[in-house]
Amino acid sequence: MTHPTLVNLRHPDCLFIGGDWVSPLSGAKLDIVSPSTERLVGCVAEAGPADMDRAVAAARQAFDTGPWPRTTGLERAAFLRAMADRLEARADDFAHAWALQVGIPLPQAQMSARLARGYFDYYAGLAAEGFEEVRTPARGGTCVVVREPVGVAAAVVPWNAPLATLLLKVAPALAAGCAIIAKPAPETPLEALLLAECAEAAGLPPGILSVVPSQREAADHLIRHEGVDKVSFTGSTAAGRHIAAVCAGRMTRVALELGGKSAAIVLDDAPIETILGGVLPTLIGLCGQQCAAFSRILVPRHRLTNITEAMAAAFQAVQVGDPFVSGTQMGPLVAKRQLERVQSFIDQGRRDGATLVTGGTRPAHLERGWFIAPTLFTRVDNSMPLAREEIFGPVGSIIAYDSEDEAVAIANDSPYGLSGGVFTQDTDRAYAIARRVRTGNFSQNGRVIDYTLPYGGFKQSGMGREGGIEGLHGFTEVKAVFLPHAPSHLITR
């Protein structure tokens, strides 16, 4: 039984290409399965390679001959603000979609959905500031440094936070003047289709945004397409390596936000309640399916017992269950394969000699759904897979250290470098440690991710930055125009 109207989709059987709702050429469908019940709850159209060709052709026409990239930033800002209004009006639908497909508790999804318009409002403000800067060359005259849109962009987004990761690409791409093709994960197509409805209602010019949910084969066809000027991808490091190699072959611009194995360094002065309040949400939010989760918890050896006991009690108190039931704090993993992956790491950790403190199995009161209890290990060595691999589940590993230098060395001993944090009441100590840890984002006493500020990783956690003005600049090319004097519209009067 299918229920495509659960999120009020107007065209569940169609793709959004060239400003029109069109049937996929193959007639294929993507099934949406609830991770809470393991039941089919809906289906939508699935794009194939030929549909990707249609989307690229529409985007190329819109970019190469249409008005959008030739409008001013101020004119584009008006469209982005209209998009923001539409997102706000559909906030309940976006929230319901996330809870239905991924299993995040509905109140958490609702809170996030209410903030979604902010992405478009923010990039509208940056677009309105313009993309031209007058500079003086060393030999005199004038140079206008212009940021022009990179062209046709492909946005390939994951299933864990499908709306936020999509908006971090679509909003700045549109602000920059690009045409963009959104390829959501097959597990979570609803947000992208809702966004297409918002674009249609806001009057976005045809072809500037297309939405093509698909499986891997069609997605690979899209990133290989010669008509695509930039690929922006969020997902696993393994997939990111493949995309980087494909793009390097034809010098396609690429931005990659990939995996992480972030460390939370607890210093000797950090209160227990601060540690719990900063670490726990990253491990149970989205059932731990977060690239920036504090999955390695580094604690002073003399505090090991105290912190382990407090964290175990907090883990055991988490209410795990149906995301639509009041009081649920953590829902299921997204799929059976993900549950099996997480369970395999837990089993490996026990074989390697780490101590399982709590969790590690399905909660006894949940017979269906891909649930697992919040899981905590102690006596973990940083060489174990528990500490080196991105598990993408609610699994925390406590690692003891004897000195601050050792803690920093452990934090840096990772192929990843996406996020991290330090827990202390001393901001000067926090900043000094932040500058020593090789990671793209770092926070004191918790984790902060803000779409108005840059986000991305070092090492195998990716390249490029999303969010902030850096996220906008990633969808532009820089051109230097040398003139005897500034053009009239740039002369300050």
* Whether residues 287 and 249 fall in one domain: no
Same-domain status, 400 and 267: yes
Residue 65 lies in a domain: yes
The angle formed by the CA atoms of residues 350, 355 and 360, to the nearest 5 degrees, is 60
- Identify the band that residue 491 occupies on the pLDDT scale cut at 50, 70 and 90: confident
Could you report the per-residue pLDDT of 203-230, keeping only the tens digit for each?
Answer: 999 999 999 999 999 999 999 999 999 9
The pLDDT assigned to 1 comes to 32
- Say yes or no: 275 and 391 in one domain: yes
Is 237 in the same domain as 270? no
Domain co-membership, 397 together with 361: yes
Residue 98 is assigned to a structural domain of this protein:
yes
Cβ-contact 100, 41 below 8 angstroms? yes
Q: Please state the rounded mean pLDDT for residues 403-430.
A: 98
What pLDDT does residue 306 have? 97
Mean pLDDT computed over 275-284: 98
Q: Is residue 452 a part of any domain in this protein?
A: no
473 and 403 in a common domain: no
The rounded distance, in Å, linking the Cα atoms of 449 and 446 is 10
pTM for this entry = 0.96
**Residues 243-252 pLDDT 10s:** 999 999 999 9
DSSP at 294: -
> Do residues 37 and 176 both lie within one domain?
yes
For residue 6, name the pLDDT band (cuts at 50, 70, 90): low
Q: Round to whole Å and give the CA distance between 425 and 432.
A: 13
Mean pLDDT of 401-412: 98
Q: Residue 396: inside a domain, yes or no? A: yes
Quick check: is 107 in a domain?
Answer: yes
CATH (domain of 289) = 3.40.309.10
Could you tell me if 36 and 118 lie in one domain? yes
pLDDT for the residue 220: 98
Domain of 131 in residue numbering reads as: 4-258+461-481
What single-letter amino acid sits at 386?
L
Q: What is the pLDDT of residue 5?
A: 43
Examine residue 454 and state whether it is found in any structural domain, yes or no.
no
Considering the chain, what is the average pLDDT of its residues?
Answer: 96
d(C-alpha 432, C-alpha 435), whole Å: 5
Same domain, 410 and 469: no
> Which one of 88, 187, 200, 257 is the catalytic residue?
257
Q: Is 477 a residue of the active site?
A: no
User: What is the CATH number for 114?
Assistant: 3.40.605.10
One domain for residues 277 and 390: yes
Residues 42 and 120 in one domain: yes
Tens of pLDDT, residues 67-94:
999 999 999 999 999 999 999 999 999 9
Distance CA 20, CA 25 (A): 14
SS3 content of the chain, % helix, strand, coil (to 5): 40, 20, 40
Together in a domain, 23 and 71:
yes
Residue 3: its pLDDT value, please? Answer: 36
Note the pLDDT tens digit of each residue in 298-324.
Answer: 999 999 999 999 999 999 999 999 999
Helix H or strand E segment including 32: strand 29-33
Q: pLDDT by residue (tens digit) across 140-194?
A: 999 999 999 999 999 999 999 999 999 999 999 999 999 999 999 999 999 999 9
pLDDT band of 121, cuts 50, 70, 90? very high
Domain count, the chain: 2
Looking at the domain assignment, is residue 331 inside a domain?
Answer: yes
pLDDT reading at 451 higher than 70? yes
Task: Determine what percent of the chain is predicted with pLDDT higher than 70.
Answer: 98
Residue 453: inside a domain: no
Give me the pLDDT at residue 493, please: 47
Tokens for 176, please give them: 């920059």
